[in-house]
Structure 1
């Protein structure tokens, strides 16, 4: 089986044979990847590591948005609804960017995305950093408005 059995030519204008871009169709390991943008991260190890950190942070931000509370209780319905809608749009956009990065089929990118979601959930969604059941948190704040699984967030959970 040759190397081309696992790759598919990318759509677009017909490139010359010398610089023909290929897209992997199976998971592979290596720093020579094409993630999200044409030519990025390239073949330099530093840029590949930067791309992994970027994907990790994108996934981490998705989890932060899934668990944050930015809307004040005294906000009007329309204002709160607009903020909630904007937060949902940003979260969906970030989640799609993580998905597209994983579609590079690079094993390191996949692990960075999973780690970002896992660490983000640990910090923002799990009970590890949640407050006690009596409703008073470790910082003295009143958290009696809890619902199952932890504190309420401004956004509903992402459903697949």
Structure 2
């Protein structure tokens, strides 16, 4: 059995009588797509948008790259000095608005990565993990910090998810 593509699934029997007498969808045949609920390998998937990346290997590779960089960007924003803002008493309302905008952007990007992973495509999952790992290594770990130690760690979770 080929698990690389979505399978057409007939509508549930309880609604088939409605569909056959024309009460739903103008009497036409309605096909529902079954969503994967387990991890699978393959390039034939949908991630974030209907029909994307499609069946092209090149578009699937682009999808993996986009998910990877979304995860790296999420980690950069999580550990950015923009998110921490001014630590002194002279914090302005403008810096509070910038901090809120960066936090909102980071949270939105984290949810986009999470939704991409919910495609249950193993390649997308690995790309997201790799992006978060590389992003954390570059921006959050002590590996690439300057030796003076003046960089503070962020108190917020890097994923932006409250789970």
- On whether the aligned pair clears a TM of 0.5, the verdict is yes
Q: Is the 8 A contact 2:40 2:120 kept in 1?
A: yes
Structure 1 or 2: more helix by fraction:
2
1:30 corresponding residue in structure 2: 42
8 Å CA contact 1:8–1:23 kept in 2: the answer is no
Q: Does 1:58 align with 2:73?
A: no
**Cα contact 1:7–1:25 (8 A) shared by 2:** no
Matched length: 140
- Aligned equivalents of 2:120, 2:114: Cα separation in 1: 10
Report the Cα offset of residue 16 of structure 1.
4.6
Distance 2:50 2:81 in 1: 36
Is residue 2:119 matched to residue 1:130? no
Distance in 1, Cα, partners of 2:61 & 2:2: 28
Q: CA offsets, 1:90-144, max 9 Å, x none?
A: 0110000000000000000000000000000000001110122xx26xxxxxx2x
Contact 1:33/1:106 (8 A) holds in 2: yes
SS state of the match for residue 24, structure 1?
A: coil
8 A contact 2:8–2:32 mirrored in 1: no
Partners of 1:8 and 1:122 in 2: CA distance: 42
1:16/1:59 Cα in 2 relative to 1: closer, same or farther (>3 Å)?
farther
Residue in structure 2 matched with residue 102 of structure 1 by the alignment: 117
Q: Contact 1:33–1:43 at 8 Å: present in 2 too?
A: yes
The one-character-per-residue Cα deviations of 1:35-90 (angstroms, maximum 9, x if unpaired) are 00000000000000000000001100110001111346787421111111101100
SS in 1 for 2:110: helix
TM-score, normalised via structure 2 length: 0.73
Q: Max radius of gyration: which structure?
A: 2
The answer to whether the 8 A contact 2:72-2:131 is kept is: yes
RMSD: 3.0
